[in-house]
């Protein structure tokens, strides 16, 4: 079963910059992979194509069997509900509590407050932040903020979890902790793709690597190792 498929995908930004060209790869359902490359190699662009934050100039992207090129603008929100995203700058809202931040996707998807409450607490528990519900994210440390972002990305039980430099601002110990969190989600069936340039950490963790170099993709090895690092 394929979760993500890129078929000869190219992306050229207005102005002529070729961000991606000839991208072909597949992610199996439940797979865990890293996306690496120098900064400006096109990692963020590739992730954005899966969320339809960008549309490809050429080729086709499939997510969960859906051809994203065929989606009408009105269908995009429903795609995004199936895909959880974590950002380096975590994109939290500081005008509301941790709880409300995590509950946002559920509120949008139309869950009742009671159901949302259960799921928010489960998600916060899974990232080790139960008990911080009422705090404002601005009071939390960088690592804790990132975990709130992860809780928000997984609270809707997405089939696919994307992360763009989720450990970019964290020290090595916290980074490893965050990566282990992602592994836990993969173990319960979520497909995970993490863009990162933390080569040392990635090499220690093993797993498949997709390497981007100036817009071209080299599918890396799928190492035999692949347990939880720590």
| Footprint on this chain of another protein (rule: CB under 8 A) | 51, 53, 64, 74, 77-82, 85, 91-93, 95, 104-105, 107-113, 115, 119, 122-123, 125-126, 128, 152, 154, 156-159, 180-181, 184-185, 188-190
Q: Please say which residue, 24 or 91, places its beta carbon nearer to another protein.
A: 91
In order, the DSSP letters of 37-95 are ESTTSSHHHHHHHHHTSS--SEEEEEETTEEGGG--GGGHHHHHHHEEEEETTTT--TT
d(C-alpha 57, C-alpha 32), whole Å = 27
Q: Classify burial at 69, counting beta carbons within 10 Å of its beta carbon; exposed 0-12, middle 13-18, buried 19 or more.
A: middle
Nearest CB to another protein, comparing residues 46 and 123: 123
> Closest distance between another protein and the C-beta of residue 22, in Å?
26
Using only C-alpha atoms, the chain has a radius of gyration, in whole angstroms, of 17
Question: Tokens 């960088």 label which residue?
Answer: 142
Take residue 69 and report the two structure tokens written for it.
Answer: 């090129």
Nearer to another protein, 26 or 95 (CB): 95
| β-strand pairing of 160-164 with 2-12 | unpaired
Q: Smallest gap, in angstroms, from Cβ of residue 126 to another protein?
A: 4
Between 93 and 199, CB nearer to another protein = 93
Q: Which is nearer to another protein, 4 or 217 (CB)?
A: 4
Give the torsion sign (CA, 128, 131, 137, 139).
negative
Q: Give min distance, CB of 220 to another protein, in A.
A: 26
**Residue with smaller CB distance to another protein, 115 or 219:** 115
| Structure tokens given for 193 | 């793709």
Q: Least separation, in Å, of the C-beta of 186 and another protein?
A: 9
| Under 8 Å between Cβ of 123 and 100 | no
């Amino acid at each position: 079963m394929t979760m993500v498929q890129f078929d000869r995908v190219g992306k050229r930004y207005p102005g002529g910059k070729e961000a991606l060209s000839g991208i072909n790869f597949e992610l199996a359902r439940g797979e865990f992979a890293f996306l690496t490359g120098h900064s400006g190699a096109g990692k963020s662009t590739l992730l954005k194509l899966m969320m339809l934050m960008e549309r490809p100039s050429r080729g086709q992207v499939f997510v969960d069997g859906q051809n994203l090129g065929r989606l009408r603008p009105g269908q995009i929100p429903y795609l995004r509900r199936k895909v959880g995203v974590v950002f380096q700058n975590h994109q939290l809202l500081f005008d509301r509590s941790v709880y409300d931040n995590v509950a946002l996707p559920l509120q949008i998807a139309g869950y009742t407050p009671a159901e949302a409450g259960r799921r928010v607490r489960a998600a916060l528990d899974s990232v080790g932040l139960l008990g911080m519900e009422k705090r404002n994210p601005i009071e939390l440390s960088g690592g804790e903020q990132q975990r709130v972002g992860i809780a928000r990305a997984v609270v809707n039980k997405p089939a696919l979890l994307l992360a763009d430099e989720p450990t970019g601002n964290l020290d090595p110990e916290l980074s490893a902790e965050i990566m282990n969190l992602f592994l836990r989600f993969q173990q319960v069936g979520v497909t995970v793709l993490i863009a990162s340039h933390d080569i040392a950490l990635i090499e220690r963790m093993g797993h498949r690597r997709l390497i981007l170099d100036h817009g071209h993709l080299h599918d890396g090895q799928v190492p035999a190792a692949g347990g939880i690092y720590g």
